[in-house]
Amino acid sequence: MAWLPLLFFDDRRIHRYTSQRLLLLGMGALAIEILAGHPQYVFYTVIAAGIYTCFSLIQQTRRLQIVLGLTGMLVGAARWRPCNCCRDWPRAGESIRGAKLPFVVASSYSVPPRT
């Protein structure tokens, strides 16, 4: 959620003038929020930015350009995530979650630490 103010700042600047720097700034901030690992905050951020954009578009004349720019920012940020996921996928089996747990351990109240 720490990146939300930067996204709102970037969103407001895009309403005034669209540039590639602003799109990359917003794309990077949203991609970092996606990579943080809390999808519910990304969902809240996208919903809040969408509502803010809808109310801001009432006063704008170049609505299509703004919507396309913000959609490109969202799509670009979402595309950065699979690159990181593909890189870390082979290492996922090395964690305790990658191995099968016996039924007795899995059905217990808490999982004991690995010794």
Q: What is the pLDDT of residues 3-39, one digit of tens each?
A: 888 877 877 777 777 778 888 888 888 888 888 877 8
**pLDDT value at position 89?**
63
**Residue 83: pLDDT over 80:** no
Lowest mean per-residue pLDDT among 11-20, 47-56, 89-98, 101-110 = 89-98
Q: What is the pTM of this model?
A: 0.62
Report the distance separating Cα 56 and Cα 12, nearest Å.
8
Q: CA 59 → CA 14, 62, 74, distances in Å?
A: 14, 10, 22
**Residue 57: pLDDT over 70:** yes
